[in-house]
Structure 1
């Protein structure tokens, strides 16, 4: 298992970052490596995120010194969404076959978590984990059971459906909230007008982008905005003080994962368009 560690940043420091420094601090571009579990540990709410890409062998989620336990989920919870291929997640001795778009929640204390692929090529499982203080049951969440919320309008080119997976409307969790947003053809904006949520951080993972497409992910405090150019299957960390919005040159989908003080989806500090700088 590969682990990249990122430390916290003060917004007063981050506003002075150049492009390379921004990318070094907030961009994670190695989520999927064949036959590896590749993770990033951010000190923003101690969230861990990344991918498992089994290609011909099973991959086991391990703990270690960085987590203070040999069992990864000893004091953590985990959300998973399959973004490509077909495979199986084994959790606590039970196998869960998964297709693209299926997800699941695995609670604190589950000792054995393994990933494997079907016969049609490597599956890709995107993972988000947060510290947990209570054990909740493991729940398999096919996309048909996720909670959909359709937002936006064609005039603002932001028609999208938000599928809530790890969310109070679907299953119990300690602090992790996770879902997937799919933009409709012709729509390129997400989360604009933008917001922050001072009580929780967020990680975005962009995927299903056509070759040659990019997403301009907006970042920073509302009066000190920056952007990070994102390619397919890349992740970006948004601390609680940062906006998190994006606009693409073509179609894309993204997975969002949040952790912090509460799980109220609409607990946002909205930013008026005229106040953006």
Structure 2
């Protein structure tokens, strides 16, 4: 498991391109036959992926100092690839493309597998510390709460699907969902915002291999950007804006951890204040 330290915004404004990418960009996700986990010290979020050819068992590793991965944690999983299976303490959950799964604290045995090993599933996951247990529950994309936002004129026409949230599948602190942009729309989360009460991780996908995403981060008056490509993720500390513009439309998964689960709890940034 890779460890990423928390970063102070007064230091980040002095980072060059390589340092920004080293601290915040997550690459090498969704490699067939591999599991990749990145532990961010920002709100103790773990982001990662499992792309199983043979079944892959989720293990705690020495970094968690736990008997098993979810001993003191909860987890959200969304499959962005072909059909796959997550087995939790002997119960089988079949996940089609864009189906999700919430796994509550205390689940001991978690196994990821693909229906067709030659065409493996692509499980993306977020995990946060938990202090109470909620039931493990499958989330079908057809039953996730959708909200249509934006407009074609503003190049941000999109549908937001909430998977794990207080009015849906409940969790201790994890909030997770997916946003799908319509063809011709390229902007997300603009006008932008911050939320001091929680951090966020974005996974960008469904982009052509030659497409480029410009993800903007930093304090509103000290913005920076990170160039990203398909199936890469980025860590956004609570003090940072998190918005992007790509050379095509795309889909992204957002996962949040912190003090407040209210989706609308944001600190808006006026367009005239961005620098």
Give secondary structure in 2 for the equivalent of 1:70.
coil
- Whole-angstrom CA distance in 1 between matches of 2:25 and 2:192: 20
Q: Which runs of 5+ in 2 are unaligned?
A: none
- Whole-angstrom CA distance in 1 between matches of 2:239 and 2:88: 35
**1:154, distance to aligned residue in structure 2 (A):** 1.1
Give secondary structure in 2 for the equivalent of 1:226.
strand
> Across the two proteins, how many residue pairs are aligned to each other?
274
- Whole-angstrom CA distance in 1 between matches of 2:167 and 2:185: 26
Q: Which runs of 5+ in 1 are unaligned?
A: none
- Whole-angstrom CA distance in 2 between matches of 1:270 and 1:258: 17
Question: Which of residues 78, 81, 96 is equivalent to 1:81?
Answer: 78
Q: How does 1:127-206 map to 2 (within 5 A)?
A: 127-206=125-204
Q: Which residue of structure 2 lines up, in the alignment, with residue 106 of structure 1? A: 103
The answer to whether the Cα contact below 8 Å between 1:147 and 1:169 also exists between their aligned partners in 2 is no
Give secondary structure in 1 for the equivalent of 2:124.
strand
- Whole-angstrom CA distance in 2 between matches of 1:133 and 1:168: 16
Aligned Cα root-mean-square deviation (Å): 0.8
Superimposed CA distance per residue, residues 230-267 of structure 1 (whole angstroms, 9 cap, x where no aligned partner): 10000100000000000010021000000000100000
**1:70, distance to aligned residue in structure 2 (A):** 2.5
- Whole-angstrom CA distance in 2 between matches of 1:80 and 1:144: 16
**1:63, distance to aligned residue in structure 2 (A):** 0.6
Superposition TM-score, scaled by structure 1 size: 0.98
- Whole-angstrom CA distance in 2 between matches of 1:258 and 1:247: 20
Superposition TM-score, scaled by structure 2 size: 0.98
- Is 1:116 matched up with 2:113? yes
Give secondary structure in 1 for the equivalent of 2:230.
coil
Q: How does 1:228-247 map to 2 (within 5 A)?
A: 228-247=226-245
Give secondary structure in 1 for the equivalent of 2:191.
coil
- Whole-angstrom CA distance in 2 between matches of 1:115 and 1:12: 40
Q: Which residue of structure 1 lines up, in the alignment, with residue 258 of structure 2? A: 260
- Whole-angstrom CA distance in 2 between matches of 1:33 and 1:154: 34
